[in-house]
């Protein structure tokens, strides 16, 4: 039940006051950089990059690999969404959790896991990128489509069968139309993620697999062609805007109002027929080979030394490069990353929390504010990083080489997640509770801090966990912003990978294992805080 619109009595502070800080932050660190990118990208010097044929090859490849990744992920993910949500078998819940793990892993870890798993000849091919994208986005399909599939009222299908429809016809004419909005939503998300994929492509790709993101990065970091990079970033922003528009209009057109079941576990089917068993085995094999094997390969590769086993690469984490002043030892990155993650969590919870309150208590403009805060998530991390880089490298605000640049970029990406986590909880608090507190003599602020805040504390904790994890694994923006003497874990891993020799390669695998474990621990503790409920993504 939605509580009524809050009245002046029940609002702790006016919404516009709450919105000031988030909006100012957003305008300064996202709005202004985007304007700068566009201004710079539309200059005649920048637009020359569009006349080069290789630019169009890059655009074509970016689009093509995203389409292929999306189709493949749906093909592999839909049977998983079905089996994991409609069949009763021991270990179902555990498998659902396992299937979700890859999605929260840092992209760099995903890239390294497939470097460890796939034969060397695969590295640099489109195939390697596609497989990694399916690995990464399997959870999107299983969660987004699966949650609807689990709640689909089975009696629609039963009604169709009693009308003489064969199982195949039921699937085609009833199940599919009812699921279509969720499939579309999942497809849009997967397309978005793979269209802007950076870490995976950088680690697994080669000279023939350059995406827009990688091209923007290389033009900035290696060719120092900021004008060309800006033009490509404008293309990227326009392309993403188009994708979001198309998917939003398709989804609203195909939406169906249907009865959903409250308790999905009630009618789980025990797989009895040979076909059902085959499907179950197929999904189990997929999860084992596609999801578990890469993570296992990463760990194993980190202890694989000269055909035997050993901890040499792990020991190297603390000693490699010792004695040179060029880089800190790899393990120092752990402290850098953890520090940034703490700063990000604090900033993101503060700004995202204020934004959520403003959205929840606003009488007008709530949707607009919600959309504005979510925008950085809809653009690519590379755009966020690139924009910050070109905007704050000069007066009036020169932050070049300042450590705060990295947490700022991470905060922009984490704030939308904080908003999505906190807002539903904030909206579920009955405003009459605050009115009761008011009638007992508490002022608006006191009423809010004694009624809402305690109810919110868990959501804020979860949001902080998400922000922390996002910061740990973020690579797209960080690649532009990290100081060379203070690399984060993902940056350090990619650096090690780029150096010749067995030792840096092994150390990269060991460091990626560290990042994978730390991320998993943070996400698992956060999930625990949530109380075992798998919420919206």
Partner 1 sequence: MTAAAAALTVSDVTVYYGTRLLLDRVGLAVQPDEVVCLLGPSGSGKSTLLQVIAGLQVPASGWIRWYDEDMTAVPTHRRGFGLVFQDPLLFPHLDVGGNVAYGLRAAGMPRAEAAGRVEDLLALVDLPGCARRRAATLSGGEAQRVALARALAPHPRLLLLDEPFGALDRELRDRLAVDVRALLHRLGTPAIHVTHDIVEAQLVGDRVVRLSDLTGGGGAPV
Work out whether the CA dihedral 210, 216, 217, 221 comes out positive or negative.
positive
What is the smallest separation between the CB atom of 256 and partner 1, expressed in angstroms? 4
For the chain, the first-to-last Cα distance in angstroms comes to: 22
Return the number of the residue (180 or 427) whose C-beta is nearest partner 1: 180
Helix (H) or strand (E) holding 397: strand 397-398
What is the smallest separation between the CB atom of 167 and partner 1, expressed in angstroms? 8
Is the bond preceding residue 230 a cis peptide, omega within 30 degrees? no
Return the number of the residue (167 or 206) whose C-beta is nearest partner 1: 167
308-309 and 304-305 as β-strands: parallel, antiparallel, unpaired? antiparallel
Distance CA 160, CA 178 (A): 13
Return the number of the residue (174 or 497) whose C-beta is nearest partner 1: 174
* Alpha carbon 374 to chain centroid, angstroms: 13
What is the smallest separation between the CB atom of 157 and partner 1, expressed in angstroms? 9
Half-sphere exposure of 33 (CA within 13 A, CB side): 28
Residues that bind partner 1 (CB under 8 A): 153, 155-156, 158-167, 169-170, 173-174, 177-178, 256-259
DSSP letters for 124-172: TSHHHHHHHHHHHHHHHHHHHHHHHHHHB-HHHHHHHHHTT--HHHHII
What is the smallest separation between the CB atom of 32 and partner 1, expressed in angstroms? 45
What is the smallest separation between the CB atom of 311 and partner 1, expressed in angstroms? 51
Return the number of the residue (245 or 255) whose C-beta is nearest partner 1: 255
What is the smallest separation between the CB atom of 159 and partner 1, expressed in angstroms? 5
Q: What angle do CA 434, 2, 260 make, to 5 degrees?
A: 150
What is the smallest separation between the CB atom of 537 and partner 1, expressed in angstroms? 25
What is the smallest separation between the CB atom of 179 and partner 1, expressed in angstroms? 10
What is the smallest separation between the CB atom of 253 and partner 1, expressed in angstroms? 12
502's CB contacts (< 8 A; 6+ apart) are 306
What is the smallest separation between the CB atom of 272 and partner 1, expressed in angstroms? 8
What is the smallest separation between the CB atom of 154 and partner 1, expressed in angstroms? 9
Return the number of the residue (258 or 371) whose C-beta is nearest partner 1: 258
Q: Which of 70, 73, 64 is CA-nearest to residue 290? A: 73
Half-sphere exposure of 202 (CA within 13 A, CB side): 25
What is the smallest separation between the CB atom of 259 and partner 1, expressed in angstroms? 7
Distance CA 378, CA 244 (A): 8
304-305 and 397-398 as β-strands: parallel, antiparallel, unpaired? unpaired
327's CB contacts (< 8 A; 6+ apart) are 321, 484, 485, 487, 492, 495
* Alpha carbon 7 to chain centroid, angstroms: 36
Return the number of the residue (125 or 267) whose C-beta is nearest partner 1: 267
Among the residues of 365-501, which ranges form H helices?
366-378, 381-391, 405-428, 431-439, 444-473, 478-481, 489-497
Residue 193 tokens read as 């993620």
What is the smallest separation between the CB atom of 155 and partner 1, expressed in angstroms? 5
Cβ-based neighbour number of residue 520 at 10 Å: 16
Return the number of the residue (279 or 529) whose C-beta is nearest partner 1: 279
Return the number of the residue (125 or 251) whose C-beta is nearest partner 1: 251
Return the number of the residue (173 or 457) whose C-beta is nearest partner 1: 173
46's CB contacts (< 8 A; 6+ apart) are 40, 227, 228, 230, 231
Return the number of the residue (257 or 441) whose C-beta is nearest partner 1: 257
Return the number of the residue (256 or 440) whose C-beta is nearest partner 1: 256
Q: What's the 3-state SS for 466-477?
A: HHHHHHHHCCCC
Return the number of the residue (8 or 262) whose C-beta is nearest partner 1: 262
* Residue length of the chain: 537
Return the number of the residue (158 or 394) whose C-beta is nearest partner 1: 158
No. of H helices and E strands in the chain?
25, 4
Residue 197 tokens read as 């994929």
């Amino acid at each position: 039940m939605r509580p009524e619109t809050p009245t002046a009595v029940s609002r702790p502070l006016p919404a516009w006051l709450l919105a000031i800080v988030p909006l100012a932050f957003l305008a300064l660190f996202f709005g202004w950089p985007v304007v700068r990118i566009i201004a710079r990208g539309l200059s005649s010097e920048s637009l020359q990059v569009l006349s080069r044929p290789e630019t169009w090859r890059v655009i074509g490849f970016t689009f093509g690999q995203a389409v292929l990744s999306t189709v493949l992920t749906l093909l592999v993910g839909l049977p998983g969404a079905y089996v994991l949500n409609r069949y009763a078998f021991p270990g179902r819940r555990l498998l659902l959790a396992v299937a979700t793990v890859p999605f929260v892993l840092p992209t760099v870890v995903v890239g390294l896991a497939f470097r460890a798993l796939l034969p060397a000849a695969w590295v640099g091919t489109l195939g390697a990128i596609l497989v990694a994208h399916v690995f990464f986005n399997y959870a999107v399909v299983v969660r987004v489509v699966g949650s609807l599939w689990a709640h689909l009222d089975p009696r629609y299908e039963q009604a169709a069968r009693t009308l003489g429809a064969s199982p195949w016809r039921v699937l085609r004419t009833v199940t599919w139309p009812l699921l279509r909005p969720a499939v579309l939503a999942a497809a849009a998300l997967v397309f978005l993620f793979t269209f802007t994929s950076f870490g995976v492509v950088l680690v697994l790709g080669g000279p023939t697999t350059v995406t827009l993101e990688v091209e923007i990065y290389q033009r900035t970091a290696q060719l120092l062609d900021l004008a060309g990079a800006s033009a490509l970033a404008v293309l990227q922003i326009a392309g993403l805007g188009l994708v979001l528009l198309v998917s939003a209009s398709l989804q609203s057109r195909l939406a169906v109002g249907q009865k959903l079941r409250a308790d999905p576990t009630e009618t789980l089917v025990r797989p009895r027929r040979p076909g059902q068993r085959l499907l179950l085995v197929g999904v189990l094999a997929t999860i084992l080979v596609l999801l578990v094997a890469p993570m296992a390969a990463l760990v194993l590769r980190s202890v694989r030394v000269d055909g035997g086993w050993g901890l040499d690469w792990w020991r190297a984490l603390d000693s490699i490069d010792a004695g040179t002043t060029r880089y800190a030892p790899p393990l120092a990155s752990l402290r850098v990353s953890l520090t940034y993650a703490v700063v990000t969590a604090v900033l993101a919870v503060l700004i995202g929390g204020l934004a959520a309150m403003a959205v929840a208590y606003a009488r007008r403009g709530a949707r607009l504010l919600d959309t504005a805060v979510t925008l950085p998530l809809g653009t690519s991390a590379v755009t966020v990083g690139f924009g910050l880089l070109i905007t704050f490298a000069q007066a009036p605000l020169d932050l070049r080489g300042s450590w705060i640049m990295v947490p700022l970029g991470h905060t922009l990406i984490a704030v939308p997640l904080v908003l999505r986590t906190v807002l539903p909880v904030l909206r579920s608090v009955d405003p009459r509770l605050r009115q009761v507190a008011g009638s007992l003599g508490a002022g608006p602020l006191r009423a809010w801090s004694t009624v809402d805040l305690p109810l919110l504390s868990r959501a804020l904790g979860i949001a902080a966990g998400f922000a922390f994890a996002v910061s740990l694994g973020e690579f797209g923006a960080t690649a532009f912003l990290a100081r060379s003497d203070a690399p984060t874990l993902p940056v350090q891993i990619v650096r090690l990978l780029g150096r010749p020799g067995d030792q840096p390669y092994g150390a990269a695998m060991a460091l990626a294992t560290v990042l994978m474990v730390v991320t998993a621990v943070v996400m698992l503790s956060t999930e625990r805080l949530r109380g075992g409920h798998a919420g919206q993504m």
